[in-house]
Structure 1
Amino acid sequence: MKIRAFLALVSALLLSACVTKPEPEPFKIEKQKLHTKQADDGTHLFAFIVTVEKQARVKLDAAKKISRSDFKRFVNEEHIEDSSSLKLALEDRAVVLLKGALQEQAYCPNGYLIDEVYWKERQVQLRGKCND
């Protein structure tokens, strides 16, 4: 009986360790930049740009036979430029980073509104205005 209880406890611990393990981010932030300005009507505007590092692509040598594992890696490889799910993940991450950058510079103390989102290769730009 004690062995079964011990095995159940060990199994539960192993399963909980697997469940709580955070997934690594599919991209790395290379740089982020907050630009601010005041419009002619007095509105405080911002543009926040987040750029991710360029990912190395799996290279396949056409002169050699491709192994099954290399082919799987090639097929399953996702890049920010091609993947809408990675773009959405980066947008979510950029919103979190924007909040921190605005707080750090004490800009938009009454809140803000993101009006536009622009994409360019490995870069997302959030544009908006402060709630004045």
Structure 2
Amino acid sequence: MTINFNEIVEQRSEATGIAGDRIPFEFGNKTFSFRDPLMLTDEEKDELELIDYDADIAAWYMGDEEYDEFLLTEVEIPAEDGKTIKKTGSSSFFFLVLREHMRTARASDAEGNPTMRNRSSRRAAARKRRKQH
């Protein structure tokens, strides 16, 4: 069996809606993007590994100009009391988006099905098989 990388990338693009090497995301009333971690070269990974400050990592992924615009963009977050809290972009918000992207990228295959069941799902399936025997 031969693995076709082109097909893998195409299936991933169809499943996630992500084409190319940048991931778009909405923040406030604007669309931003960041480098797709899957598409990084080994040299880019080496470069990234040397950065240890969260804001610098976020700027590296987004690009300096886009990150600067992200920092100036305001979003209103609903609070429990019905009021809203106004916040601007930050490395914390960026990493929330990055984590969500990584979670969904790992969780779906080309058909949108989980690629690997979580530990509790595997345990429940094993218990069910034992009960059937």
TM-score if structure 2 supplies the norm length? 0.28
- Indicate the structure whose relative CO is greater, using CA pairs within 8 Å and at least 6 residues apart: 1
